[in-house]
A and B are shown apart, each in its own frame.
Chain A
């Protein structure tokens, strides 16, 4: 299949990472790990920019959801089922808004994965790697997903050392502490006792 012009420009750069050692297996793993890391970094940058752009509205919706959810739990405590149902309905509406905003926003994180897979399809379609002792084989998508997961776990440990991402983390941390203001089923429990252990 003919490569798209966009990929014709990128291809010489990307394929270099697949020719580093001269050992096909190792080269494929190194190249795919680099590709997965690039997809991850670009995704992290674009979702952080998108997040900053919608932060104000997102804060408002989250606050509304938090308020009604806490109210519904207060109503439960008070044994007022009618008020509980009413607040639960409003919390549901607000949560729905926040849910779909997050869904749309997460596209900013995911899009590079598909561009990477589309390039791999040009280069490695039909390539299968035999898994030792199993009789099965793994295609390029499988290798990419596993290495993407590995890159994610590694990247999460180093990303916040960069000043820009440290700033994003500081904002996200304020969300976490605000999430802590959400009344939860664990609130009135004695220390060490978790909800669900019934």
Chain B
């Protein structure tokens, strides 16, 4: 217990040192002011009217939504998070892109001020990541404190994750046009819609039923089985035992059963997941767990803590790189107000979800995801949305 506390304090101290070093790096301050100054002045689309009321991030004439709507949208996001799951992150992005009108506002600067256009893109994805990623930090620490961590595997994932979470902001900050970003966001929405849809199909339902039946059958048989021979007990007593370390294959036994994986997978998986998370502006935790259980085939006990470490490391890297190496500004008040809404929604979700069957919730979100996905894909890549209101 004492060792664990020391480890946590050590981790926090390391985090503080890293934060200090990163935060202390000479940032390119005043980037937003510079972008505003370079934008042609006037009244109309793509122009800055210095006399207009300040809106998003204090930009004169930028969209400004009444604070109650931020809370209401946050409640919607929080409700989805606590009742359906990963789709909440998507909805956080939809709020910034569409509901609060930031994308349409930013797109107007495509020709008149590309710098401001791209700065708004980066701010939107960093804001998304703050909402989802910072919250993931809290839950990651909780799982870590429960001791569910296998360090070497976590390091493989985090190693790839740091690279992805650092490279994406460095390579893409200030370069991604808002239209393109919206198009890519649409692709991710489609991917989530597909997963949700699969879970509602008879095949998806059948696989869950089959898993339940297999688990119950084992449970029934297992209760009857009480004797275990000594040799097997000795084998179990070894816990996680790595039998073979190799560049292409690591073999380990866990409770006497043999598992193997190619170490390149956690590194590659960590890299890809962190890169997608940083590019779109999401936390990434929802991708690590299925990746480790389904692709790498690891036990849940190992997966929970390991994915927590990976989320923690890649999220810190990405947000800090965006904000302090690439000087991307964010609207703290907007994020704070949305978080109030998410907190309220997270309480309402569990209270209301018992009245709506899980499968119908998923069906509802499949329809919503297809609508949003088609809307963003066409808006991003064709220049106009075929779906009204997007």
A54 near B333: Cβ-Cβ < 8 Å: no
When chains A and B are docked, how far (Å) is the Cα of A75 from the Cα of B233? 14
B343 near A107: Cβ-Cβ < 8 Å: yes
A154 within 8 A of B: no
B349 within 8 A of A: yes
B281 within 8 A of A: no
A37 within 8 A of B: no
B211 within 8 A of A: yes
B136 within 8 A of A: yes
Contacts of B15 in A (CB 8 A): 149
Taking CB as reference atom, which chain B residue is nearest A114?
Answer: B336
Q: What is the interface of chain A mostly: helix, strand, loop, or mixed?
A: helix
Residue in A90, A101, A103, A184 with the greatest tally of chain B CB atoms within 10 Å? A103
When chains A and B are docked, how far (Å) is the Cα of A110 from the Cα of B131? 10
Q: How near does chain A come to B198, taking the closest CB pair, in angstroms? A: 13
Contact with B along A103-120 (1 / 0, CB 8 A): 111111111111101100
B289 near A95: Cβ-Cβ < 8 Å: yes
Taking CB as reference atom, which chain B residue is nearest A111?
Answer: B339
Partner of B240, one of A89, A118, A153, A198: A198
Q: How near does chain B come to A127, taking the closest CB pair, in angstroms? A: 10
Contact with A along B352-371 (1 / 0, CB 8 A): 01100000000000000000
Contacts of A4 in B (CB 8 A): 333
B347 within 8 A of A: yes
Partner of A1, one of B20, B58, B150, B236: B58
B346 near A87: Cβ-Cβ < 8 Å: no
B85 near A96: Cβ-Cβ < 8 Å: yes
Q: How large is the interface on A (under 10, 10 to 19, 20 to 34, 35 or more residues)?
A: 35 or more
Q: How near does chain A come to B261, taking the closest CB pair, in angstroms? A: 15
A100 near B286: Cβ-Cβ < 8 Å: yes
Given A72-B299, A74-B222, do A109 and B23 touch, yes or no (CB 8 Å)? no
Q: How near does chain B come to A23, taking the closest CB pair, in angstroms? A: 22
Contact with A along B297-316 (1 / 0, CB 8 A): 10111111000000000000
Contacts of B20 in A (CB 8 A): 138, 142, 146
A104 near B78: Cβ-Cβ < 8 Å: yes
When chains A and B are docked, how far (Å) is the Cα of A73 from the Cα of B255? 8
When chains A and B are docked, how far (Å) is the Cα of A108 from the Cα of B134? 12
Q: How near does chain B come to A146, taking the closest CB pair, in angstroms? A: 6
The contact sample of 7 A-B pairs, CB cut-off 8 A, is: A88-B293, A95-B289, A100-B286, A106-B138, A131-B24, A153-B9, A198-B252
Enumerate chain B interface residues (CB-CB to A < 8 A): 9, 12, 15-16, 19-20, 23-27, 29-30, 54, 58, 74, 77-78, 81-82, 84-86, 88, 131-132, 134-139, 142, 146-148, 150-152, 207-208, 210-215, 217-219, 222, 225, 228, 233, 236-242, 252, 254-257, 283, 285-286, 289-290, 293, 297, 299-304, 323, 331-333, 335-337, 339-340, 342-343, 345-347, 349-351, 353-354
Enumerate chain A interface residues (CB-CB to B < 8 A): 1-2, 4, 46-47, 50, 53-54, 56-58, 68-69, 71-93, 95-97, 99-115, 117-118, 121, 126, 128, 131, 134, 136-139, 141-142, 145-146, 149, 153, 179, 182-186, 188-190, 193, 195-196, 198
